[in-house]
Chains A and B, each alone.
Chain A
Amino acid sequence: GENVEQHPSTLSVQEGDSAVIKCTYSDSASNYFPWYKQELGKRPQLIIDIRSNVGEKKDQRIAVTLNKTAKHFSLHITETQPEDSAVYFCAAVIIQGAQKLVFGQGTRLTINP
């Protein structure tokens, strides 16, 4: 399969609170899971990624967790700030044939001041 499901599609949190976005994937051979942030009218930019040999990775206020058994991974943003408002995409590498990135549907995160 080549599906990556992402939830929720929209998320609104108060500034300073945490935000969590979850993704599931179908290809059990997937071994790389990047997260991209896309601000309005801009290009997607990589913010953090995780490989299948680790369960968690953290970079300042952003962390990603991976559960290979359950085939799901999550993005955690703590102490949210207004500049965190954007659309976030998870992705998984599909290994069948030529490798490619398959993206989730995106989550529009809004930080309320």
Chain B
Amino acid sequence: DTAVSQTPKYLVTQMGNDKSIKCEQNLGHDTMYWYKQDSKKFLKIMFSYNNKELIINETVPNRFSPKSPDKAHLNLHINSLELGDSAVYFCASSQYMRPSTDTQYFGPGTRLTVL
């Protein structure tokens, strides 16, 4: 099932580097999300976009910059990577921007390890 896909699946990099994670959905959904899952499995929303427009921007360091070139893609760029950025990053999408009615479908995740 490749409805929501992410690349790369694994990313190992040094502190201070800049890296990007890409996400694509072929479900025709309007809304996409980035979640961070830390080492304790805690899953927390970072950003959401609806039709290329930023809707939610949680208290995320500005080293994290999402970009949505079109409604099927939501990329995450991270500058000056820090050890604490190590986590699994999940992209998700939903039909519209109403989590109370629209199921969110998750991508396979990108495991980022910062050394």
Interface residues of A (CB under 8 A from B): 31-32, 34, 38, 42-46, 49, 51, 87, 89, 93, 95, 98-103, 105-106, 108
CB neighbours of B107 from chain A (8 A): 43
A43 contacts B106, C-beta separation under 8 Å: yes
Q: What is the chain B residue whose CB lies nearest that of A99?
A: B99
Give residues of chain B (86-108) contacting chain A, Cβ–Cβ below 8 Å.
Answer: 90, 97-101, 103-108
On whether A98 and B55 interact (CB within 8 A), knowing A93-B99, A103-B42, the answer reads yes
A31 touches B100 (CB 8 A): yes
With A99-B97, A100-B56: A43-B103 Cβ-Cβ less than 8 Å: no
Complex Cα distance, B35 from A101, in Å, reads 10
Number of B positions contacting A (CB below 8 A): 22
Q: In the bound complex, what is the Cα–Cα distance between A103 and B97 (angstroms)?
A: 17
0 or 1 for each of B23-61: is its CB under 8 Å from A? (1 = yes): 000000000000000001111110010000001100000
CA A103 to CA B48, docked complex, whole Å: 15
Task: Kindly list chain B residues whose C-beta atoms are within 8 Å of the C-beta of A95.
Answer: 100
Q: Is B106's CB under 8 angstroms from A45's CB?
A: yes
* Contact A99 to B100, CB < 8 A, known contacts A87-B41, A105-B42, A106-B42: yes
Chain A interface, DSSP helix/strand/loop, else mixed: strand
CB <8 Å contact, B45 and A46: no
Question: Cβ of A101 and Cβ of B45 under 8 Å apart?
Answer: yes
Complex: A46 Cα to B102 Cα, angstroms: 11
Closest to B4 in A: A43
19 contacting pairs across A/B (C-beta < 8 A): A31-B100, A32-B100, A34-B103, A34-B104, A42-B108, A43-B90, A43-B108, A43-B109, A44-B43, A46-B104, A46-B105, A98-B97, A99-B98, A99-B99, A99-B100, A100-B56, A100-B99, A101-B104, A102-B45
